[in-house]
């Protein structure tokens, strides 16, 4: 151990390695109540340092777990896959390497936070590029989220689709570029993701086949006119009609943003609010002024026709400003903060409000929040579902039965991540004690098993959760196993992540 520690310090410097007990504890804990203690944390600053760490890991059988900023709330936080791993935290590799305002893309390192990228783009002289952000807070990363197939709120919300190229350090220390970036003089290396031959960027997503050190992503041009669409419907049974109507609008190219549909408990918990119906949704229509106006008209007409009793609000920048002034000088509006947050996320502006509602303590600095700052434990349960008439009720029925059986409040969001698919994300909160943690684990395992039995697989997983995913055909997992064995014979990068 002493030798390994000395060598690591030699590579990264004394200030970029720690095995301080308190720090290890915070990396060990996940907000779901599980603990996986690492051997140390290392904060490399360059690709060369990562290559040296990887070489040392091979020589000394050190298991590495790479993270970008480790804000993987609800999916394992900064926890490794097994005890005694070296967490490779890349938050000090936080440079934005290139932004092209003409063809709208940026190349960044994994340590760049949502807030940093947002401020960087806003400060550009022309200020015409928009980010897609998640609700995970100002300090969460962009790269780590993309690598987990995360999604945000804008037209570019399904982030995996926006990868142009990836630079990755392989488990033997070799550096590889994907797409045309693998061809040094390719004209379209930072614009054309497909390259020539197999597309291999997918190998580095939800996997353990490399350490991603750079990524180029497409960015959305800021629309000339932005308009958020918020809707709510009182009737519990309106969900299927609502989603089908939204799906049609999406398939026909009227709505291009992610559409998030929430049940009442997911938005306001047990608070009373007569304005919020059984199901509410948020989306946006934006682009050229004339097109946005026409889209607003179609959205209103179609939703009113298809969903009985639906209430709709169209919030432009002007209306949002006006509401804020009204709230400040005329009458306080109870939902203004939530509304502002929804609109901000749709405009690619990071917000800490979703975290704040979970933490509920003004004394905790949200920009520096740690797993133990959350007053309760929580878990996400996700399921990918066809956006059709048959599948939605089937999924709801399966989930509500299990939530009722285990006596948890049913909180759920359905995100129309494209015109054909929904990702359902439900969550449970529970007190920080052994009995509740045990029950939540049982609930989680049972829930995932029942969902998979009915055909609904999670879109993402995390430490302590991979074992629950079964049902994959042999040839698929065998190919991944062979690739892993070939490029990582010593199994040094995140062993067993995604069961690879």
Ligand X SMILES: Cc1cc2nc3c(=O)[nH]c(=O)nc-3n(C[C@H](O)[C@H](O)[C@H](O)COP(=O)(O)OP(=O)(O)OC[C@H]3O[C@@H](n4cnc5c(N)ncnc54)[C@H](O)[C@@H]3O)c2cc1C
Rounded Cα distance between 447 and 406, Å, is 10
Q: 10 Å Cβ neighbour count for 83? A: 12
Q: 10 Å Cβ neighbour count for 372? A: 11
Rg of the chain in Å (alpha carbons)? 23
Least Å distance, CB 208 to ligand X, is 8
CB 232 within 8 A of CB 311: yes
Residues in the chain: 500
CA 108 to chain CA mean position, Å: 17
Least Å distance, CB 67 to ligand X, is 4
The yes or no reply on residue 33 touching ligand X (CB under 6 A) is no
Expressed in angstroms, the distance from the first to the final Cα of the chain is 27
Exposure of 32 in the CB half-sphere (CA atoms within 13 A): 27
The yes or no reply on residue 145 touching ligand X (CB under 6 A) is yes
The yes or no reply on residue 465 touching ligand X (CB under 6 A) is no
Helix (H, G, I), strand (E, B) or coil at 486: helix
The yes or no reply on residue 38 touching ligand X (CB under 6 A) is no
Rounded Cα distance between 376 and 32, Å, is 9
Least Å distance, CB 115 to ligand X, is 12
Q: How many residues in the shown chain lie near ligand X by CB under 6 A? A: 30
Window of 15-23, 50-58, 140-148, 234-242 that interacts with ligand X by CB under 6 A = 140-148
Nearer of residues 150 and 195 to ligand X, judged by Cβ: 150
Question: Can you name the residues that pair with 316 across neighbouring β-strands?
Answer: 227
Tokens of 472: 């994959």
The yes or no reply on residue 342 touching ligand X (CB under 6 A) is no
Window of 150-158, 177-185, 246-254, 265-273 that interacts with ligand X by CB under 6 A = 150-158
Scan residues 98-117 and list those touching ligand X (CB under 6 A).
110
Nearest to 152 by CA among 358, 349, 307: 349
The yes or no reply on residue 259 touching ligand X (CB under 6 A) is no
Window of 139-147, 170-178, 289-297, 331-339 that interacts with ligand X by CB under 6 A = 139-147
Rounded Cα distance between 345 and 259, Å, is 12
The yes or no reply on residue 40 touching ligand X (CB under 6 A) is no
Site string for ligand X, 297-336 (x = CB under 6 A): ----------------------------------------
Least Å distance, CB 290 to ligand X, is 31
Q: Which of 42, 112, 147, 310 binds ligand X (CB under 6 A)?
A: 147
Which residues in this chain contact ligand X in the complex, by CB under 6 A? 66-74, 76, 90, 110, 134-136, 140-141, 143-145, 147-148, 150-152, 211-212, 354-355, 358
């Amino acid at each position: 151990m002493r030798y390994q520690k000395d060598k690591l310090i030699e590579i990264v410097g004394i200030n970029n390695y720690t095995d301080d007990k308190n720090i290890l504890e915070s990396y060990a804990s996940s907000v779901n109540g599980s603990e996986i203690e690492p051997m140390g944390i290392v904060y490399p600053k360059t690709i060369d340092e990562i290559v040296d760490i990887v070489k040392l890991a091979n020589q000394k059988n050190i298991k590495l777990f790479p993270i970008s900023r480790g804000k993987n709330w609800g999916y394992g936080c900064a926890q490794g896959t097994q005890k005694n791993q070296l967490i490779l935290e890349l938050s000090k590799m936080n440079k934005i390497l290139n932004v092209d305002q003409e063809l709208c893309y940026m190349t960044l390192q994994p340590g760049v936070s949502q807030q940093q990228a947002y401020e960087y783009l806003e400060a550009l002289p022309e200020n015409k590029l928009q980010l897609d952000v998640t609700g995970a807070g100002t300090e969460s990363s962009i790269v780590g989220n993309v690598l987990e197939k995360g999604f945000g709120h804008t037209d570019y919300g399904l982030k995996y689709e926006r990868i142009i190229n990836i630079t990755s350090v392989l488990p033997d220390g070799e550096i590889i570029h994907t797409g045309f970036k693998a061809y040094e003089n390719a004209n379209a290396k930072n614009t054309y993701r497909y390259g020539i031959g197999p597309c291999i960027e997918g190998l580095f997503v939800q996997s353990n086949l490399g350490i991603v050190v750079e990524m180029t992503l497409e960015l959305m041009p800021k629309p000339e006119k932005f308009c958020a669409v918020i809707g709510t419907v009182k009737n519990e049974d309106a969900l299927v009609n609502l989603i089908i109507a939204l799906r049609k609008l999406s398939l026909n190219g009227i709505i291009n943003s992610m559409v998030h549909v929430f049940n009442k408990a997911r938005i306001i918990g047990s608070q009373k609010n007569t304005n919020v119906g059984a199901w509410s949704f948020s989306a946006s229509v934006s682009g050229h002024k004339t097109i946005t106006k026409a889209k607003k008209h179609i959205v209103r007409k179609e939703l009113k026709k298809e969903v009985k009793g639906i209430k709709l609000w169209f919030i432009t920048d002007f209306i949002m400003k006006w509401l804020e002034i009204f709230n400040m000088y005329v009458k306080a509006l109870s939902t203004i903060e939530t509304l502002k947050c929804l609109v901000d996320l749709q405009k690619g502006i990071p917000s800490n409000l979703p975290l704040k509602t979970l933490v509920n303590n003004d004394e905790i600095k949200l920009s520096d929040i740690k797993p133990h700052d959350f007053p309760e434990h929580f878990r996400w349960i996700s399921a990918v579902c066809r956006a059709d008439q048959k599948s939605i009720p089937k999924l709801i029925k399966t989930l509500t039965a299990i939530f009722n059986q285990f006596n948890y409040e049913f909180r759920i969001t359905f995100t129309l991540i494209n015109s054909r698919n929904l990702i359902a994300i439900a969550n449970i909160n529970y007190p920080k004690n052994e009995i509740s943690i045990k029950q939540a684990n049982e609930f989680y395992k049972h829930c995932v098993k029942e969902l998979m039995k009915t055909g609904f697989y999670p879109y993402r997983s995390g430490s302590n959760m991979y074992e629950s995913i079964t049902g994959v055909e042999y040839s698929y997992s065998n190919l991944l196993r062979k690739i892993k064995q070939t490029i990582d014979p010593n199994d040094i990068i995140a062993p067993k992540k995604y069961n690879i």
